Amino acid sequence: MRFHAWMAGAVAALMLLMGSVFVVNEGHTAIVLNLGRVSRVNLQPGLHFKWPLVESARVFDKRLQVLPAEPERYLTSERKDVSVDFFAVGQIEDARAFYRATGGDESAAIARLAPIIKDALRNEINARTLQEAVSGDRTTIVKSQLGIINRGASTLGVRILDLRIKQLDLPTDSRVIDDVYNRMRAQRQQVASRLRAEGEEQANEIRAGADRDQQVILAEAERDAQKSRGEGDAEAARIYAEAANRDPSFYAFQRSLEAYRKAFSNNDSVIVLERNDPFLQYMRSDR
């Protein structure tokens, strides 16, 4: 009997000892509840003691946690749909507030944080145009709302350290994509029309310059040709004059031959002249 009583006492003491000791791992924190009331908070990693049967310990992970969320659809300032896929990175900052707000349930904390983050993003997207939301700096969108998100998250004992937009797309089931494509086509057509107009203007300038240069070249060529013809005619007249002065009778004979050739070039020509007409002076037999 004594042995059994000793064994029972040893087992009871061991259970009491085990019930009074708990360990907080690195990267975690803990709170101690005394009959359901928070008595100690933010316990550091290591070995800790509590009163068995009276106190209980709750250990929480203080490491950075990724809080995923489903993509949300928002409206821009132009009433255009955009689908925003995002995630948040946070950690437990106040174990007491976290336990009181969520009962220590992380899924409950995520469910309560999601609306806070979504509302903040909605306010930011609603204030921007579609082009600003799609092509703008996403970090600017996040930073401007991070303080607002943390004011709401502080009631849960949580702090959001970063918020990242993974993807910002146009919903495939809306007319936004068609509108964007139509706008892009219109912009490209506008650029193409402007380039064609500029090209046509340059072509007209080049053609006008070429036509102007052509007229100048032709005028200069005609001037030079007239000058050359005039000089040639003058030279020919001088030569003819010199030749005529050297032998006037031969010159008269040559001119008569040329006149005969022109007069009788057509075989059907008939010329009626007097017998003593000077035109026939070189055709008389006595000559």
Structure token pair of residue 287: 């000559």
Structure token pair of residue 261: 């050739």
- Return d(Cα 3, Cα 1) in angstroms, integer: 5
Element spanning 158, H or E: strand 158-169
What's the pLDDT at 110?
85
Give pLDDT tens digits for 13-69.
555 555 677 788 888 888 888 887 778 887 888 888 877 777 788 888 888 888 877
Distance, C-alpha 224 to centroid of its chain: 60
113: CB partners within 8 A, 6+ apart: 67, 88, 90, 152, 153, 156, 158, 160
38: CB partners within 8 A, 6+ apart: 31, 32, 96, 99, 100
pLDDT above 70: percentage of residues in the chain:
75
Q: pLDDT category, 247, cuts 50, 70, 90?
A: low
- Which residue, among 147, 144, 117, 115, has the nearest Cα to 132 in the 3D structure? 144
Query: pTM above 0.75?
Result: no
Give pLDDT tens digits for 143-152.
778 888 888 8
User: Max alpha carbon distance in the chain (Å)?
Assistant: 193
Determine the Cα angle at 271 with ends 269 and 277, to 5°.
155
Mean pLDDT of the chain: 78
Q: Where are the alpha helices (DSSP H) in 58-175?
A: 95-102, 106-126, 130-135, 138-153
Give pLDDT tens digits for 55-105.
788 888 888 888 877 888 888 788 777 878 888 888 888 888 888 888 888
Does the structure show a pLDDT above 80 at 201?
Answer: yes
- Greater confidence (196 vs 167) lies with 196
- Return d(Cα 111, Cα 104) in angstroms, integer: 13
pLDDT above 90: percentage of residues in the chain:
1
Contact in structure between 145 and 123 (CB atoms under 8 Å): yes
What's the pLDDT at 233?
83
What's the pLDDT at 230?
87
What are 9-18's contacts with CB under 8 Å, separation 24+?
A: 15/52, 16/52
